[in-house]
Amino acid sequence: MSRLNTQAPLMHLQGVHKTYRLGQHVIPALQGVDLTVQRGELLALTGPSGSGKSTILNLCGLIDAADTGTIALEGQDTRALTEDQRTLLRRDALGFVFQNFNLVPVMTVAENVDYPLFLTGVRAAERRERVAQQLQAVGLQDHAQHRPDALSGGQRQRVAIARALIKRPRLVIADEPTASLDSHTADQVLELMRERCHAQGAAFVIATHDSRLTRRCDRVVALLDGRIEGVSK
Ligand code: ADP
Ligand code: MG
> Is residue 6 scored above 80 in pLDDT?
no
Mean pLDDT of all residues belonging to the chain: 95
Residue bearing the CA closest to ligand 1, atom 26: 20
Report whether pLDDT(3) > 60: no
Name the residue of 20, 35, 221 whose CB sits within 8 Å of the most ligand 1 atoms, as the mutation to test its pocket: 20
pTM: predicted TM-score of the whole model, two decimal places? 0.94
> How many domains does one find in the chain?
1
Domain assignment present for residue 89? The answer is yes
Q: Going by CA atoms, what residue is nearest to atom 17 of ligand 1?
A: 29
Percent of the chain with pLDDT over 70: 97
Ligand 1 atom at minimal distance to the Cα of residue 47: 3
At 109 the pLDDT is 98
Which atom of ligand 1 lies at the shortest distance from residue 209's CA? 3
Ligand index nearest the alpha carbon of residue 222: 1
Atom 24 in ligand 1: which residue has the minimum CA distance? 20
Closest by Cα among 169, 174, 160 to 202: 169
- For the stretch 21-77, pLDDT in tens is 999 999 999 999 999 999 999 999 999 999 999 999 999 999 999 999 999 999 999
pLDDT of residue 212: 82
- Of the chain, the percentage scoring pLDDT greater than 90 comes to 93
In-domain check, residue 33 = no
Gap from CA of 86 to ligand 2 centroid (Å): 22
Amino acid at 192: L
| Residue 167 within any structural domain of the chain | yes
In this predicted structure, the answer to whether residue 2 has a pLDDT above a threshold of 70 is no
Helices (H), the chain: 53-60, 83-92, 109-119, 124-137, 153-165, 183-200
Separation CA 84–CA 87 (nearest Å): 5
132 within domain boundaries = yes
Domain that holds residue 203: 39-62+82-232
User: What confidence tens digit (pLDDT) does each residue in 41-52 have?
Assistant: 999 999 999 999
46 lies in a domain? yes
209 domain residue, yes or no: yes
Residue 108 lies in a domain: yes
pLDDT of 209: 84
Distance in Å, CA 212 to ligand 1 centroid: 23
Q: Quick one: pLDDT at residue 211?
A: 80
CATH of the domain at 226: 3.40.50.300
125 against 215, higher pLDDT = 125
Pocket of ligand 1 (CB under 6 A): 20, 22, 27, 29, 47, 49-55
pLDDT band at 5 (very low <50, low <70, confident <90, very high): low
CA separation for the pair 222, 147 (Å, rounded): 37
Within a domain: 120: yes
Closest ligand 1 atom, residue 223 Cα = 3
